[in-house]
Chains A and B, each alone.
Chain A
Amino acid sequence: MTDELTLIGKPLPKVDALGKVTGETKYADDLAMPRMLHAKILGCHYPHARIKHIGTARAQALPGVVAIITGADLPVKYGNLPVSQDETGLAGDKGRFVGDPIAAVAAVDEETAERAIDLIDVEYEELPAFMSVEDVLTKEGEPIQDYGDQGNVHKMVALEFGDTESGFAAADYVREDTFFYQGNTHLPMEEHAVVAHYTADGKLTLWSSTQCPHYVHRALSKALAIAPSRVRIIATPVGGGFGGKSDPLPHEVAAAKLSMITGRPVKIALTREEVFYAHRGRHPVLMWAKTGVRKDGSITAMHFKTFLDGGAYGSYGVASTYYTGALQPVTYKVPTYKFEGMRAFTNKPACGPKRGHGTPQPRFGMEIQLDKIAEAIGISPVDIRRKFVVDENSYTVNHLRITSCALGECIDKVAAASGFNDKHRKLPFGKGVGLACSSYLSGAGLPIYWNNMPHTSVQIKIDRGGGVAVLCGSTDIGQGSNSVLAYTVAEVLGVSLDAIQLTVSDTDLTPIDLGSYSSRVTFMMGNAAIEAASKLKKLIMEAAAEKLQLPVEALAAKNNSIYCIDDERRSLTFAQAAQLAEAKHGGLGAMGSYTPPKLAGPFRGSGVGPSPAYSYSACVAQVDVDPETGEIKVEKIWIAHDCGRAINPLLVIGQTEGSVYMGLGEALMEEQDFRRNQHKIPSLLDYKSLTMMDMPEVETILVEPIDPEGPFGAKEAGQGPLLPVPPAVANAVYDAVGVRIDELPITADKVLKALALKAEGKEPRVGPKGVPSFVFPEPVRVEPHPQAPKLRGA
C-alpha cells in the first residue's frame, strides 16, 4: 500500500485551513443561541481556606441574575484518573488556591454576571498555605486534600531496575547534580469557552474547547448524575490546547449545572486570568541526578530523584510523576536504573499535562549532566550520545519496547548541519553551541481508565455519489488531526480530498477516540482509519473486479478511479464502483479500531511509559550571550526529528517549529510565578513568552524511518521536538560564557550572577543547592528486561 502514495508524504495544506484564515471557523466563544445566558465564576480569595458560608442574597437581588450555584450544588467528585477523583467543579468544603472556583452566576449578560460575582459574600476560615514542596515537607497544618500517600504528599514512587549499586561500582566516573525546571503554562491563543444546553427532554449538550470530549463526557455524567446516553459533548475547533484542555474543567461542569437549573443555554468564556488558574500546566520539578559512566562514556548506572510541585488537585499528576522517571532509558543504553519521585499538593492551580508531559524536566537535567560528564572525561558531546544510542527493536532496562529508532541519524544530521564539531569550544567568548537529544511517546500504550477496548475507532460511510463520510472522536487542536484523517482515508480509497467529509469529536455521532494527548492521534486514529478504509476498499474493489472481469490484483484505485494497472482505459469511477458494491453488499459502512499491543512490564507502575513507538529528536542551539548584560540571543536552532514517515512534512515542520518556540519560551522566560501565595502575573503581558522578535531561525531536518506499526510508518511530531530545546540552550550558554545555569528559565540576571561567581573564582553556576532529605519508600526491585542493554562485566 505504501508503494506509490499520492497524498501521504506530500506538503498539502490543512483541510480546515481556509475556515481559519477567513474567520469562518466557529470557536466555542463564537457560539450564540437564543435565550443564552452568560455565566461568571467566583474564585476563592485565599490560598487555603475553609468556606464557612456563602451568602448569595445580594447577588440574587441584582436585576438580570438568573441562577447562582455553589459547591453545595455539585457534591460529586470526579477526575480524569481513577485514583484522583478530587474535583467537584465548584469547591464545596474549602478553596485550595487563589482563584479556585467556588461559585458561579448565570445572568442575562456577562457584565451583570460579573457584577453579581462581587455581591456574593463568602465567609472564610483561613488555613495554613503550602506554596512549595519545601512547605509540604516542613510546615504543619491541615492537608490540602484528604487523600494521598502521606499528608500533602500526593504520590511517592520508587523503582529500581537492575542493581544500580553494581552499576555505579563499575563506573570510572560518577557525578551528581541538582536541577530545577520552573513551572509554566500552555498559553493557548484561545481562552477556554463552553456553551451548555440542557433541553426539556433531559438531554445535556456541551460545546466546549476541549482536547478530550470522551473524558468530559465521563466526568459530566458522573458529576451531574446523568446517564451517559443523555450527555453529548461536542468539541468545537480548539484554538490551541498543548495539554491545558485535556482535563474536564470546572467551568464545563458549572455551565452544565447552570443550564440544568435554568433550562437555558449557558456560556462561560474564561478570561486570560482564569486560564492561568485552570492551568494543568508544566509541574515545577526539583531534580537530583546521579550518573555513572565508563571512560568511553557508556552509562553504567543512573539514579534520578524528582520532586513535583503539583498544585491543589490531582489532575494527571500521578502519571506526571511516573513520567519524570520513565523515559530516561529510551535514548541511550542504560543498564541499571533507579527512579524515586514524589508529587506534593500545594495551594496553587493544579499542574498536569503540558506538551511533553513530565518528560522535559528530567530531560533537561539528564542532557546537561551528560554535557558535564563529556567535558569531565574528555569526550565530545556528540560522541557521548551518538555511540550509545539504543538499538532498534530492543527493550530498555525498565521494560519499554523500542521499535524504530533513528536517533543516531538525527544526531549526525543535526551536528553536520550546524557545524557543531567546528564550533563547540571554538567560537569566540560570548558565542556558543549546545547539543541535546530526547525521545517521546507516540501514544500512551495504556488507557487512563483500565479497560480492554480500543483506544480509538474510525467509522466510514460511502454514499452513492462517491462521497466518503469519515467519523472519529478525535479532536483537532491545531495539530492537524483532521487533515491526517482525511489524507489517510483518501489515500487508502484512492479518492481525492474533496470527496472526504469529516465529522469529528462529537460523542453522539462519532466513535470514541480517547483524545488529543500523549501524541497518540496520528498513530492510533491513523491505524484505525486504514483499517476501516481497507475494509470498504475490499468490497469496492471486488465489485469493480467483477464488473471489469479482472482479478482484484489487476486493479488499482487512485484519483477517484478504479482501473486496470496494465490498461488504464479499463476503469470505473470510484462512485460507479461504490454503487456496484452497495448493490452487492447493501449500505457501505465500516468501522476500524486501534488497540495498542500489550506493552506493560511486570511491575506496578509499568502502565506509564509504554508506547507503540517512540519519536527521537536531536537539537543544536547557537546562542550569543552578552557578558555585560547577561542577555541571551538564540541565533539559530537546528533540530532533527525522527517522526517515522511524515504524513505531511509541512505539518510536521510546523509542529517542530511550534515545539521549538514553546521550548525556547520555557528555556528563556516563562514562569508560573507566585508571590504572597497567589499567581504573580496572570496576564499575557506580564507572563513573558517569546514574541516574533525573539524567535530565531529554525532549521528542521526530518528523519523518516518507516515505523513497522505506525500508519504508513508514521510516529509523532507534536511534543517530542520540544524536549531537547531547553537543555540545548543551557549547554550552549555554557559553551558561550562558561557558566552553568542548572535551572529554568535561564534569565539574564542568572547569567550575570554566574559570571560574577566565575570572576570571583567560585563555582560558576546558578541552580538549586540540593534536594530535600525526603525518605522515599523502599524501591520496588525489578529485573531488567532480558533484551535490555547489559552491564558489561557484571
Chain B
Amino acid sequence: MLSERGAEAMIVAGGTDLFPNMKRRQFEPKSLVSLRAIAELQRVTGDADSGLTIGAGVTLAQVSRPPVIAQSYPALARAAGDVSTSQLRNTGTIGGNLCLDTRCNYYNQTYHWRKSIGFCMKKDGDICLVAPGGSRCWAASSSDTAPVMIALGASVRLIGPRGERVIPVDELYRDDGKDHLTKAADEILTEILIPPANGLRSVYLKLRRRGSFDFPILGVAVALRLAGDGACAYAKVVLGAVGSRPVVVPQAESILIGNRITPESVESVAQAAARLAKPMDNTDSVLSYRKKMAHVFTARALKEAAGLP
C-alpha cells in the first residue's frame, strides 16, 4: 500500500507525533497506513544475556517498565519514561519515537502562524528561518530514545518492497532537518535489536524546563562497560536535541577506552561533547545555556555510569 500510494501515504502507529502535525498541516498525507493491528510488531523478546528485540509497535510505556530493561538497559527505560506524558507514552511507540520528525519552533506551528512569519523550507517554503543565510534545515532531532539506542549499539530492521535490511541505529539518521531519516518512505521499521547487556552501564539525562510534557532540549546518553581491572572496555556518549541527528561524541571512545575513568577524563569528554553540541535557537530555552549544559550533563552522566562521586 505504501509503495502504491507513494509520497501521498504515511505510516501511523501511535499517532502522537503524526496527528498533531497533520492538524497543523505540517504533514498532509492523503492516506494513512496503520501498523497498529500487526501483532508481530508489539512483542519484546530475548533477554539481557542474548540481547533484546523490541517490536517497533511496543508502546513507550511498555518499554519503560519491564525489569529486564530497567535493570540491564536503564538508560532506555529512563528515556522512554521521560517522553512527554503518561497518556502519550501509553499510545506512542518506540518505533515512532525513533522516527520522530525533527522539531523546530518555526515549524511546529499552525498553518496561519507559518504563513504569517513566512513558510520555511521544511514545509511550504524555501528558506530556513533559524539560519536564513544558509541552505539547510536546522530542525532538531528530538527523540529521547534515539541517542540511547545508538549508545547501546542497537540496530533496526527495515522492511520494504526491495527487501529487508538491518542497519545500526546510528545509520538511520542523517544530519538534515528536512530529511533526517535514511529509511525510505515505503520502508517500515519493524524491530529494534539491542545487543547483550553484558555488564553494560547506561545512563540517560534529559534537560527540559519542567518535569513532564516536554521534548528534550538536550539529551545525554552514556553507555560504559568496565573490565575486571576497572579499565573501560566500551564507551559511547551520544547527545540528543543539539543537532538534526543524534550527535555521537567520538572522544568518549578515544579518551576513555583502555583506561580507568577519572574525573579528568570525564571532564575531557564533557568538554568535547559541549564543543560538538550545536544547539540552534529553535527550541525552548537559550542556546548558550543548552551548550553549557551539554558539558554539565555529559559529566554527570559519565560519573553516574562510572560510579564516580
Shortest CB distance A676–B (Å): 6
Q: Does A550 contact B (CB under 8 A)?
A: no
Shortest CB distance A781–B (Å): 45
Among residues of A, the one whose C-beta sits closest to the C-beta of B287 is: A749
In the complex, the answer to whether B111 meets A669 with C-beta atoms within 8 Å is: no
In the complex, the answer to whether A752 meets B210 with C-beta atoms within 8 Å is: no
Given known A680-B105, A749-B288, contact A685–B113 (CB-CB < 8 A): no
As a 0/1 sequence over residues 268 to 281 of chain A, the CB contacts with chain B under 8 angstroms (1 = contact) are 00010100000000
Binds A, one of B56-64, B161-169, B247-255, B289-297: B289-297
In the complex, the answer to whether B289 meets A748 with C-beta atoms within 8 Å is: yes
Among residues of A, the one whose C-beta sits closest to the C-beta of B213 is: A691
Q: How large is the interface on A (under 10, 10 to 19, 20 to 34, 35 or more residues)?
A: 20 to 34
Q: Does B43 contact A (CB under 8 A)?
A: no
In the bound complex, what is the Cα–Cα distance between A691 and B88 (angstroms)?
Answer: 15
Other-chain contact of A118, B111, B113, B286, B289 (Cβ < 8 Å): B111
In the complex, the answer to whether B209 meets A686 with C-beta atoms within 8 Å is: no
Q: Does B117 contact A (CB under 8 A)?
A: yes
Other-chain contact of B211, A98, A680, A694 (Cβ < 8 Å): A694
As a 0/1 sequence over residues 88 to 103 of chain A, the CB contacts with chain B under 8 angstroms (1 = contact) are 0000000000110000
Q: Does B212 contact A (CB under 8 A)?
A: yes
| In the complex, chain A residues 318-356 whose Cβ is within 8 Å of any chain B Cβ | none
Among residues of B, the one whose C-beta sits closest to the C-beta of A626 is: B296
Other-chain contact of B105, A118, A271, A686 (Cβ < 8 Å): A686
Q: Does B284 contact A (CB under 8 A)?
A: yes
Among residues of B, the one whose C-beta sits closest to the C-beta of A114 is: B111
In the bound complex, what is the Cα–Cα distance between A676 and B132 (angstroms)?
Answer: 13
In the complex, the answer to whether B213 meets A685 with C-beta atoms within 8 Å is: yes
Among residues of A, the one whose C-beta sits closest to the C-beta of B296 is: A628
Q: Does A56 contact B (CB under 8 A)?
A: no
As a 0/1 sequence over residues 647 to 685 of chain A, the CB contacts with chain B under 8 angstroms (1 = contact) are 000000000000000000000010000001011111101
Interface majority SS on A: helix, strand, loop or mixed?
loop
Which residues of chain A are within 8 angstroms of B213 by Cβ–Cβ distance?
685, 691
Given known A629-B293, A629-B296, A747-B285, contact A688–B209 (CB-CB < 8 A): yes
In the bound complex, what is the Cα–Cα distance between A12 and B309 (angstroms)?
Answer: 52
In the complex, the answer to whether B212 meets A693 with C-beta atoms within 8 Å is: yes
Shortest CB distance B20–A (Å): 8
Among residues of A, the one whose C-beta sits closest to the C-beta of B209 is: A688
In the complex, the answer to whether B210 meets A688 with C-beta atoms within 8 Å is: yes
Q: How large is the interface on B (under 10, 10 to 19, 20 to 34, 35 or more residues)?
A: 20 to 34
In the complex, the answer to whether B212 meets A273 with C-beta atoms within 8 Å is: no
Given known A45-B116, A629-B296, A678-B117, contact A694–B285 (CB-CB < 8 A): no
Q: Does A313 contact B (CB under 8 A)?
A: no
As a 0/1 sequence over residues 264 to 301 of chain B, the CB contacts with chain A under 8 angstroms (1 = contact) are 00000000000000000000111011001100100000
Q: Does A690 contact B (CB under 8 A)?
A: yes
In the bound complex, what is the Cα–Cα distance between A692 and B212 (angstroms)?
Answer: 8
In the complex, the answer to whether A691 meets B211 with C-beta atoms within 8 Å is: yes
Q: Does B174 contact A (CB under 8 A)?
A: no
In the complex, the answer to whether A669 meets B116 with C-beta atoms within 8 Å is: no
Q: Does B112 contact A (CB under 8 A)?
A: yes
Q: Does A46 contact B (CB under 8 A)?
A: yes
Which residues of chain A are within 8 angstroms of B286 by Cβ–Cβ distance?
749
Q: Does B110 contact A (CB under 8 A)?
A: yes
In the complex, the answer to whether A678 meets B292 with C-beta atoms within 8 Å is: no
Q: Does B115 contact A (CB under 8 A)?
A: yes
Shortest CB distance A130–B (Å): 17
| In the complex, chain B residues 99-146 whose Cβ is within 8 Å of any chain A Cβ | 105, 108-113, 115-117, 129
In the bound complex, what is the Cα–Cα distance between A686 and B24 (angstroms)?
Answer: 14
Given known A688-B209, A752-B289, contact A98–B116 (CB-CB < 8 A): yes
Q: Does A43 contact B (CB under 8 A)?
A: yes
As a 0/1 sequence over residues 744 to 762 of chain A, the CB contacts with chain B under 8 angstroms (1 = contact) are 0001110010000000000
In the complex, the answer to whether B116 meets A749 with C-beta atoms within 8 Å is: no
Which residues of chain A are within 8 angstroms of B285 by Cβ–Cβ distance?
747-749
| In the complex, chain B residues 192-229 whose Cβ is within 8 Å of any chain A Cβ | 209-214
Shortest CB distance A793–B (Å): 50
In the complex, the answer to whether B289 meets A690 with C-beta atoms within 8 Å is: no
Shortest CB distance A144–B (Å): 17
Among residues of B, the one whose C-beta sits closest to the C-beta of A118 is: B111
In the bound complex, what is the Cα–Cα distance between A690 and B111 (angstroms)?
Answer: 27
Which residues of chain B are within 8 angstroms of A271 by Cβ–Cβ distance?
110
Shortest CB distance A487–B (Å): 36
Which residues of chain A are within 8 angstroms of B113 by Cβ–Cβ distance?
98, 273, 678-679, 682
Shortest CB distance B229–A (Å): 31
Given known A690-B210, A693-B210, contact A273–B105 (CB-CB < 8 A): no
In the bound complex, what is the Cα–Cα distance between A273 and B85 (angstroms)?
Answer: 21
| In the complex, chain A residues 267-298 whose Cβ is within 8 Å of any chain B Cβ | 271, 273
Other-chain contact of A273, B110, B210, B214 (Cβ < 8 Å): B110
In the complex, the answer to whether B211 meets A45 with C-beta atoms within 8 Å is: no
Among residues of B, the one whose C-beta sits closest to the C-beta of A41 is: B112
In the bound complex, what is the Cα–Cα distance between A579 and B203 (angstroms)?
Answer: 76
In the bound complex, what is the Cα–Cα distance between A682 and B117 (angstroms)?
Answer: 13
Which residues of chain A are within 8 angstroms of B292 by Cβ–Cβ distance?
752
As a 0/1 sequence over residues 374 to 392 of chain A, the CB contacts with chain B under 8 angstroms (1 = contact) are 0000000000000000000
Known interface pairs A98-B116, A752-B289; 13 further A-B residue pairs with C-beta atoms within 8 A, sorted by A's residue number: A46-B116, A271-B110, A273-B110, A676-B129, A685-B214, A686-B108, A691-B85, A693-B210, A748-B285, A748-B289, A749-B285, A749-B286, A749-B288
Taking beta carbons and an 8 Å cutoff, which residues of A are in contact with B? Answer: 43, 45-46, 98-99, 117-118, 271, 273, 628-630, 669, 676, 678-683, 685-686, 688-694, 747-749, 752
| Residue contacts A-B, CB under 8 angstroms, 10 given | A43-B116, A46-B116, A98-B117, A99-B112, A271-B110, A678-B116, A681-B284, A686-B105, A688-B210, A688-B284
Nearest 4 A/B pairs, CB to CB: A693-B211, A749-B289, A691-B212, A45-B116
Taking beta carbons and an 8 Å cutoff, which residues of B are in contact with A? Answer: 85, 105, 108-113, 115-117, 129, 209-214, 284-286, 288-289, 292-293, 296
